[in-house]
Structure 1
């Protein structure tokens, strides 16, 4: 390395930013290849001196895509050189595809200008520190979203459910996430959950002062446990502020897909989604996230981050448990069974329009396409055949929330809690909900007793990796996105709603049986004697239920 060789024409990078650090190094692994490296406020520019095809001897890497940089020496005591490696995850076009995804790029440089090993290491550390500092100042634009940063160094508790999805969460952690966190210099402790509600119990008792963030690698059900465990603590007001991270390890991965969507990137799936969420986690930017309080007749109040479902969506998710051995295909089988004998659910629905929409009820009840899946997941158009009338073969992968023993038993209803009892429950008080046995105020919109195919309340954009159910949703908009489908819809029309939802196009269709409203609170009273209600994919007591959104109550790492 020789900083004295810097020349005036090298002081402007490819982005137009002034060069703040310049040096010449060899490439690790091939000491014959020398290059100049320029660091600006926005980019790392690498210019190779060795002969190379035109256009390939210069590389410009955006620091927005950098998650870390480290300096080190080798174990060879005879080698006086020092090294620094920078880790980038730029968006690149996928092979044989028109889409783009984040792909790992590592650049490693050797410094041997001085005979003193300590001096070489000091210089390498100066470079590594400068790259980290400048990459930490980069931001992707996020209109209207207030964000904060995780501290550096950061201490994370990483909870993994080894049984979620196809049972590959630990393998995915070993193949991708462990390396990403190490590259970003993030200290983390791996906690493997052993049973249902294990994470909920841990959160009630954990010393949260040891951690800067809690990260969940699983389906959405593990985060449901974590959030409710935090809100059951005596110090819930402080506990609920600890940043939460999500890494897809299940089948549906709705919140992970939502986080990726909020970043503005094009859709990705499977391990590409995992790499993207790992990148966003390492960038460490934190947004507020809405939570929704859920009241049931006799159960303690619950908190939801994703969805509330009754009807078709809930039935498919839970009834397909018997096909768990088939992996994600369990939802395909469950959907076929339920479509073949489409059920009608009798009940009463009411809601309080969101504040911004209360002066125009017509604007609230837009006809939109809804996908009926509160736990929705993968739909493959190529494998979906739509037949008018009869059975409709379709592939529809619904959310896997990692619940190992969903119980359909309904506890006998007890007396509905009074208003004072509601206020005394753990967590923040509800501002607009009355006890379930009291009539609703006149400001609520009441959907007269109707026959429904499904009712679905969404708090995030996605129902699954490839189901964009609420395209207008953001992580902290203070809105419950309420969809319901009236009876009378044909199997083929219901299937078309699923298909349109893959790209969020259901909002532009003209389905006369679908209603969509932005609401602050809702109340559902099922009249059908049997049925399933799910919250974030978990079965809850069947019967009257009501919900209210609490804007920005928790915090989510969204990058």
Structure 2
């Protein structure tokens, strides 16, 4: 076997000089990187891909075979990225079967299979090689996740159920995930599901919806007596089937249902800051954003334009920006980083770290509820360490956990999943129309952070009190709440999501 590894032109350079495989099971000891699967074919664990060597591929006339890229001019080889490998198994008659997601287009992947009948099956060798393949494919990610799937048939343009069966379910099935599928029946149903969820039975709740169902599930988990434990133990994921798919854009790096399903299959447990918002005698958890002014109106006042998809946000934003609409308010904040240079430094320090290999948070004891509010509620006196500033010409107040609000709105390029901070922007509403247009273009071009008239800070808590208005729009995670003062504070790493990196958003940073 040693000669196969030493002579193999496709061997992984990271294995050079050692015969010890990455996997630990006894049957995987001394398993080579290359597995012969016929007289003229072999499978090799490369640096970042599975390399298939098969002389029969010469018979293919095209530049692509079975959805797998052919390597170079020598069409006897093809490669499958490890990230796309979903599962590997052997049949009773000695056939090795590898399931993977092949790229139909830039926005769609579908399950596919390669299989070879082994001439001389060696069970220990084959099982050991497949274990190494799956280790490369999944790394620190959990295999065969137990997923509670929630389908919202009412969200967005109403196509969630069709999207699930066509684009998502096949990926989950090929990855051998354990699924429990349920359709939400009415507004608030996700809250009930989260509140009554058996947290020992599932690793994740995947919401085939917009951002509304994840918001409901988190708030359902927050109502439990063991809220802190439930929020850490069960990861929440979004599979983009709504008009607002910010969560998927941030953690899956896509608003494609099939690519998002693949990202969830391979997703790493990632701590996420959650925010307690108090208004009146109510306490709500927020995972996405809180806004007053132009962004809130852009979202909530364009509900009648859902047929436009995510374009309704751009349209609503432009109309109000050009109209120089203002939303007067008094704002008090607990600032952690008060200038763009400091914000940029924090972001770059975190982004330079390697991907996490595990979730290091301890699991809270059973019966542990939500953390106490450090700064009290909206009904308590304003903390003395906060500074209250009147904003008589406010155009937009937007505090958020995530970087993207929509595909073309990277509002918070310095945002981090678990830094204990909200990213805050404040923009005057009476800026010149030309400046307004430049602002909109800067968002699409990922240059919003550097605009001189944009005030960008990292804060851990705030209070906002609208004034000189009888009514208006306040948005919490895209949901409309009463038009009255509210207070917010961050709980670092209280929630759990699945992400591709384990500690960063899939967004262009600063």
TM-score tier after normalising by the smaller chain length: 0.7 to 0.9
Matches within 5 A, 1:460-479: 460-479=402-421
2:456 corresponds to which residue?
A: 516
Q: What is the rounded CA distance, in whole Å, between the counterparts of 2:15 and 2:81 in structure 1?
A: 12
The question of 1:277 aligning with 2:260 is answered yes
Query: Tell me, what secondary structure is at the counterpart of 2:465?
Result: strand
Say which of 90, 106, 118 aligns to 1:71.
90
Matches within 5 A, 1:438-477: 438-441=381-384, 443-477=385-419
Q: Check the 8 A contact 1:217/1:247 in 2, yes or no.
A: yes
Query: Tell me, what secondary structure is at the counterpart of 1:113?
Result: coil
Q: What is the rounded CA distance, in whole Å, between the counterparts of 1:297 and 1:253 in structure 2?
A: 29
Q: Check the 8 A contact 1:13/1:43 in 2, yes or no.
A: no
Say which of 234, 250, 262 aligns to 2:242.
250
Size of the aligned set, in residue pairs, is 448
Matches within 5 A, 1:499-510: 499-510=441-452
Aligned-residue offset at 1:24: 3.1
Say which of 285, 294, 311 aligns to 1:303.
285
The question of 1:173 aligning with 2:173 is answered no
Aligned-residue offset at 1:209: 1.8
Q: Check the 8 A contact 1:524/1:546 in 2, yes or no.
A: yes
Say which of 78, 82, 92 aligns to 2:95.
82
Query: Tell me, what secondary structure is at the counterpart of 1:436?
Result: coil
Deviation by residue 1:88-135 (Cα, 9 ceiling, x = unmatched): 568x9x7xxxxx778558451221425xxxx68887655544422342
Aligned-residue offset at 1:343: 2.5
> Any gaps of 5 or more consecutive residues in structure 2?
17-30, 59-71, 345-367, 501-510
Q: Check the 8 A contact 2:243/2:306 in 1, yes or no.
A: no
Deviation by residue 1:227-270 (Cα, 9 ceiling, x = unmatched): 00000011112111111122111122111111145xxxxxx5x4
Aligned-residue offset at 1:480: 0.7
1:54 corresponds to which residue?
A: 73
Aligned-residue offset at 1:427: 1.8
Q: What is the rounded CA distance, in whole Å, between the counterparts of 1:449 and 1:336 in structure 2?
A: 22
Aligned-residue offset at 1:311: 0.9
Say which of 433, 437, 457 aligns to 1:495.
437
TM-score, normalised with respect to structure 1: 0.72
Aligned-residue offset at 1:16: 5.3
Aligned-residue offset at 1:37: 1.8
Aligned-residue offset at 1:164: 1.8
Deviation by residue 1:422-444 (Cα, 9 ceiling, x = unmatched): xxx96211213454351331x22
Say which of 328, 347, 350 aligns to 2:332.
350
**C-alpha distance 231-72 of structure 1, shift in aligned 2 (>3 A):** same
**C-alpha distance 51-307 of structure 1, shift in aligned 2 (>3 A):** closer
Q: What is the rounded CA distance, in whole Å, between the counterparts of 1:521 and 1:310 in structure 2?
A: 16
Aligned-residue offset at 1:35: 1.4
Q: Check the 8 A contact 2:138/2:266 in 1, yes or no.
A: yes
Aligned-residue offset at 1:498: 2.1
Q: What is the rounded CA distance, in whole Å, between the counterparts of 2:74 and 2:135 in structure 1?
A: 29
Say which of 460, 476, 480 aligns to 1:539.
480
Aligned-residue offset at 1:276: 3.2
**C-alpha distance 314-199 of structure 1, shift in aligned 2 (>3 A):** same
1:370 corresponds to which residue?
A: none
1:22 corresponds to which residue?
A: 34
Q: Check the 8 A contact 1:434/1:440 in 2, yes or no.
A: no
Q: What is the rounded CA distance, in whole Å, between the counterparts of 2:78 and 2:107 in structure 1?
A: 19
Aligned-residue offset at 1:169: 1.6
Say which of 183, 186, 191 aligns to 1:195.
186
Aligned-residue offset at 1:539: 0.8
**C-alpha distance 123-509 of structure 1, shift in aligned 2 (>3 A):** same
Say which of 28, 39, 42 aligns to 2:45.
39
Deviation by residue 1:513-533 (Cα, 9 ceiling, x = unmatched): x31211111110001221111
Q: Check the 8 A contact 2:238/2:248 in 1, yes or no.
A: yes
Deviation by residue 1:56-94 (Cα, 9 ceiling, x = unmatched): 222344434423223336xxxxxx55231241568x9x7
Q: Check the 8 A contact 1:164/1:219 in 2, yes or no.
A: yes
**C-alpha distance 55-16 of structure 1, shift in aligned 2 (>3 A):** farther
Query: Tell me, what secondary structure is at the counterpart of 1:471?
Result: coil
Say which of 146, 150, 155 aligns to 1:159.
150
**C-alpha distance 491-365 of structure 1, shift in aligned 2 (>3 A):** farther
Q: What is the rounded CA distance, in whole Å, between the counterparts of 2:10 and 2:471 in structure 1?
A: 70
2:66 corresponds to which residue?
A: none
Query: Tell me, what secondary structure is at the counterpart of 1:251?
Result: coil
Deviation by residue 1:438-474 (Cα, 9 ceiling, x = unmatched): 1331x22322242211110011111112211111111
Deviation by residue 1:349-373 (Cα, 9 ceiling, x = unmatched): 110111xx3xx6696799xxxxxxx
Matches within 5 A, 1:212-291: 212-241=203-232, 242-261=234-253, 270-271=255-256, 274-291=257-274
Query: Tell me, what secondary structure is at the counterpart of 1:552?
Result: strand
Deviation by residue 1:164-185 (Cα, 9 ceiling, x = unmatched): 2222222221222111111221
2:374 corresponds to which residue?
A: 431
TM-score, normalised with respect to structure 2: 0.79
**C-alpha distance 14-211 of structure 1, shift in aligned 2 (>3 A):** closer
> Any gaps of 5 or more consecutive residues in structure 1?
27-32, 74-79, 95-99, 140-148, 262-267, 367-424
